[in-house]
Amino acid sequence: MVLLQLALKNIMGAKLRTWLNIFVLAMSFILIVWGKAIVVGMGDQIIDAMKDVELGYGGQLWHPDYDEEDPLTINDAHGSIPDELVPGIEAGQIVPILMATGNIYPEGKVRSVLIRGISPDQQILDLPSSVLKDRKGVDYPALIGKRMARKNNLAVGDMVTVRWRDTNGVFDAREVEIVHIMNTVVYTVDVGQIWFPLETLQKMLVMPNEATIIALGKDTGIAGDLTGWTYKSLDDLLANVLELLRMKNGGGNIMYGIMFSIALLAIFDTQVLSIFRRKKEIGTLMALGLTRNKVIGLFTLEGSLHGALAFILGGILGFPFFRYFAVKGYAMPIEGDEYGFALGNVIYAKYGADLLIGTTLLLMATVVLVSYLPTRRISKMTPTNALRGR
């Protein structure tokens, strides 16, 4: 208690030097928490968006030949939808998707596309598939995303030629009508994709009752392979994205490390200077009866108090800042898909207990360590030399 009181008085006595250190440390704390919260928010947003729009919440069944990384396999990766899934499909909780490669010819140019068929009645994916339902007078209603529309200069009501090869290897082509342009943050269901009603595509490809993948709703009870279909859990489906996020997070950590190091350097510098300038005081404290370890404890405590005060100041200054970005979000300077992620234009910071506690503990532990390291000099001082200021 005596040491704490003395340490507090000492650091308050250093006035501007103390407050500058605390301010720099508090700013680092705020920026690190904010930066990490943005990354956490971004990651959660990406994953939620992918689950909502592309993956579903119960995993997927894939045709064994389907390899999302290899477009050349897609045309051969299709199989009959298992009968046991029919009730779920009819309830809209299981969504078969058929895929094939093809081309479109907007404004006379040729573009490669992935043609997808989805049931207009599906309930689990946040895609406006219902727009494909019962289009009177439209034989081939097509749904595309805003990026696809922008890139190919397509608008609702436009007709565009689609060419594909059916299961027998026969090429065919039709004029299709763009019936809707969807606005989605998930670029993988948008860029280079054109969506048709499942039955229409099954007919086009001559693949009746077939699919390439089957997205599962939350409560389908399916958690393993079915005959001719391989089960992919959400963890499997998100593995690449999580890895990518981890890499991006790692890059961010280097930045935080540099920022934090600068703040810690200020404390280290203060400690070194303090020990150098206060040798006579150290000698006096020893003469008055403090052991060397207690003097080391006092100086370590002084340095550590910077961390504690920085945490308090960071909390006070940071709270409105943190709240603003949690509620209003951070507007991305460029469109999210430039990052290769399913990002929106606004990212909402997400402050979990693990982030706050983890960052605080990291801050405190490193501040204590940085405060302690220079005090090892004290252990080499004799009281008489310290009293002489040597």
Partner 1 sequence: MENGTLVKTKGLTKSYPIGGEHFLALKGVDLEINKGDFTGLVGPSGSGKTTLLNILGVLDNPTDGEVEVLGEDVKKIKAVAAARLRSKMLGFIFQTYNLLPVYTVFENVEFPLLILNGWSAAKRKEAVMQALEWVGLTDKVKNRPAQLSGGESQRVAVARAMVKKPQLILADEPTANLDAENSLNILETMQSLNKDLGTTFLFATHDEKVIGFLKRKVTLIDGLIAADEAGAAA
Contact footprint for partner 1 (CB under 8 A): 2, 6, 9-10, 12-13, 280-281, 283-284, 286-292, 294, 382-384, 387
> Measured from the CB of residue 310, what is the shortest distance to partner 1 in angstroms?
20
> Measured from the CB of residue 242, what is the shortest distance to partner 1 in angstroms?
52
DSSP assignments along 312-363, one per residue: HHHHHHHHHHHHHHHHT-EE-SS-GGGGTS---SEE-----HHHHHHHHHHH
- Phi, psi values for residue 62, rounded to 5°: -115, 145
Nearest in space to 121 (alpha carbons), one of 94, 83, 156: 94
Residue the block writes with tokens 């990490």: 36
In 3-state terms, what secondary structure has residue 223? coil
Nearest-angstrom CA–CA distance, 177 and 182 = 14
Are 387 and 284 in contact by the 8 Å Cβ rule? The answer is yes
Query: Which residue number, 6 or 159, has a Cβ lying nearer to partner 1?
Result: 6
Query: Which residue number, 218 or 376, has a Cβ lying nearer to partner 1?
Result: 376
Query: Which residue number, 100 or 386, has a Cβ lying nearer to partner 1?
Result: 386
> Measured from the CB of residue 280, what is the shortest distance to partner 1 in angstroms?
6
> Measured from the CB of residue 299, what is the shortest distance to partner 1 in angstroms?
14
CA distances from 211 to 70, 116, 144, 231, 334 (A): 17, 10, 20, 14, 36
Nearest-angstrom CA–CA distance, 303 and 204 = 73
Query: Which residue number, 14 or 364, has a Cβ lying nearer to partner 1?
Result: 14
* Residue 254 one-letter amino acid: I
> Measured from the CB of residue 281, what is the shortest distance to partner 1 in angstroms?
7
Query: Which residue number, 260 or 299, has a Cβ lying nearer to partner 1?
Result: 299
Query: Which residue number, 189 or 381, has a Cβ lying nearer to partner 1?
Result: 381
DSSP assignments along 106-152, one per residue: GGG--EEEEEEEE-TT--SS-S-GGGGS--TT-SSEEEEEHHHHHHH
Are 187 and 50 in contact by the 8 Å Cβ rule? The answer is no
> Measured from the CB of residue 379, what is the shortest distance to partner 1 in angstroms?
10
Query: Which residue number, 233 or 385, has a Cβ lying nearer to partner 1?
Result: 385
> Measured from the CB of residue 274, what is the shortest distance to partner 1 in angstroms?
12
